[in-house]
Amino acid sequence: MPLSETVTSERLVEFALNHYMLVLALAVVTYLLIQELIDSAFKKFAFVSPLTAVTKMNESNTVVIDVREQDEFNKGHIEGAVNLPLSKIKDHTASLDAYKVNQVLVVCQEGMRSSSAGKIIIKAGLKNVFVITGGMQAWQEDYKYPIKINRKH
C-alpha cells in the first residue's frame, strides 16, 4: 500500500474514533435512506392528491377507507367513507375482500397512517390502492372539500 493511502486510512480511523457520534449518525441516516428507497421501490400503491381522489370517486367502482379511529371519523369524514381504523385493520382483512374489484382510496388525518394501511390492504390482495396525500387535513383545509359529520342525537 502506498504511503499516502496508509496515512489517509489512518486519518479516517482517527476521525471516526474522535467523532464517533457523527459517524454513528451518518450510519443511521444512511440506513434509513436505504430502507426508505427499498420501501418505495416495492410498495404497490400510489399517492394521489385530494383533487385526483375526487376524480376517482366520481367513478362508480371507488371506495374510500378511512383508517382513523372512530371518534376522529365521527368528527368529520368523506361522504360514503368506510371507517376501518388502522389499529383494527389487521383483524378485519377478510372484510376487505368485498373491495377487490374496486379502486380503494385510503385516508387518515395527515397521511401517515394511511401509508401503513395501504401496505396492509395490498397484502390483503387488493390491487388498485391509492393513498390520499395530506389526509383529511389537506381535504378540509387545503382543498376546502365538504365532509360529513356524525352527530349523536
Of 54, 46, 45, whose CA–CA distance to 142 is shortest? 54
**What is the bridge-based pairing of β-strands 129-132 and 62-66?**
unpaired
CATH topology of domain 44-142: Oxidized Rhodanese; domain 1 (3.40.250)
For 58-74, the pLDDT digits (tens) are 988 999 999 999 999 99
Catalytic position from the list 105, 108, 117, 136: 108
For residue 63, what are the β-bridge partners? 104
Q: How confident is the model at residue 116 (pLDDT cuts 50, 70, 90)?
A: very high
**Torsion angle of the four alpha carbons 105, 107, 110, 113, in this order, in degrees rounded to the nearest 10:** -100
**Which pLDDT score, from 0 to 100, does residue 4 have?**
65
Q: Catalytic: 108?
A: yes
Whether 110 and 135 have beta carbons less than 8 Å apart is answered as yes
Tell me the average pLDDT across 30-57: 89
| Domain spans of the chain, in order of start | 3-41, 44-142
